[in-house]
Amino acid sequence: MKIALFDPSTAGSAVISMVAGPGKIRGLAALALTGLLLVPLAAIPADPHAGHGQEAAADSRHPIPLDAREKNFLLSEMREFLAVSQHILAASQAGDMKAVAAAARSVGLKAHRDDFTNPASIVQGIRKKAPQEFLPLGKATHAGFDEIADIAEQIGDKDAVNNLLADNMRRCVACHAGYRVADGH
Ligand code: HEC
């Protein structure tokens, strides 16, 4: 079993392969997330199916008060993240590294540079309304996709691609555990 430990708030990830039994995996995943956090660990259920009743009663995620335009922008980016993650996995399984790289590059940091450098971008508007960790985590997620594209192009190894995708998707999980768009926005 390969486990990747990394700091989800930075783009560079150190991939450490180790042997671990199933019991250890959850602890290690939690450990990897603690490096980040930002997000209260209690918000990340060890068993994703546990505690739904509790969640329905109280949503402890930090609400971000976005206007309609910002919300639409954020959520469409998110749906793109999901679609691209699916494309990467399917292409990587099919051994099509060119398609992996193209999909990953389309949501990479380079492709979204303007969002992060232009002070008038919607992303900068969202940044001002969100806790300060929010944007770096999003930026690191974009950069993580560039890393996947680089590995697909340079190494072309399916396992390396899939491990990096799994690493990068911890950022999705961590951010979703901690933040939401505020009600009525
Ligand atoms: C920096 C924070 C952050 C990161 C990183 C992040 N998301 Fe999100 N995502 C959000 C927020 C906030 C919402 C809105 C959740 C809510 O209001 O309940 C959201 C919503 C979504 C939705 C629902 C979209 C809709 O139309 O309602 C999808 C799908 C999604 N994210 C996929 C992803 C995937 C896949 C990744 C990783 C590749 C990812 N997200 C990474 C913050 C993030």
Residue 26 belongs to what domain range?
Answer: 1-185
**Burial label, 98 (beta-carbon count in 10 A; 0-12, 13-18, 19+):** exposed
Nearest CA to ligand 1 atom 3: 175
Distance CA 129, CA 182 (A): 11
Q: How many CB atoms lie within 10 A of CB 118?
A: 11
- Work out how many domains the chain is built from and give that number: 1
How large is the average pLDDT for residues 68-91? 98
pLDDT of residue 150: 98
DSSP 182: P
Q: Rounded distance, CA 83 to CA 103, Å? A: 9
| φ, ψ dihedrals at 131, nearest 5° | -55, 155
142 Cβ inside 6 Å of ligand 1: no
CB 113 within 8 A of CB 61: no
* C-beta of residue 140 within 8 angstroms of C-beta of residue 2: no
Among protein residues, the one with the nearest Cα to ligand 1's atom 33 is 78
In degrees and rounded to multiples of 5, residue 13 shows phi and psi of -120, 130
Name which of 22-26, 47-51, 69-73, 152-156 the model is least confident about. Answer: 22-26
Cβ(79) – ligand 1 distance below 6 Å:
yes
Coil vs helix vs strand at 95: coil
Report which of 90, 83, 113 is spatially closest to residue 161, judged by C-alpha positions.
Answer: 90
Rounded Cα–Cα distance for residues 127 and 41 (Å)? 23
Going by CA atoms, what residue is nearest to atom 37 of ligand 1? 172
Confidence at residue 121, expressed as pLDDT on a 0 to 100 scale: 93
Q: Give residue 48's pLDDT.
A: 54
Can you tell me the distance from the alpha carbon of 5 to that of 151, in angstroms, rounded to the nearest whole number?
18
Q: pLDDT tens digits, residue range 118-175?
A: 989 999 999 999 999 999 999 999 999 999 999 999 999 999 999 999 999 999 999 9
Cβ partners under 8 Å of residue 71, min gap 6: 181, 185
**Letter string b/e over residues 148-165, b meaning 16 or more CB atoms within 10 A of that residue's CB:** bbebbeeeeebebbbbbb
Residue type, 146: D
Number of the ligand 1 atom closest to the C-alpha atom of 79 = 29
Query: What confidence score (pLDDT) does residue 183 get?
Result: 87
Give the pLDDT of residue 58.
86
Distance, in Å, from the CA atom of 29 to the CA atom of 25, rounded to the nearest integer, reads 6
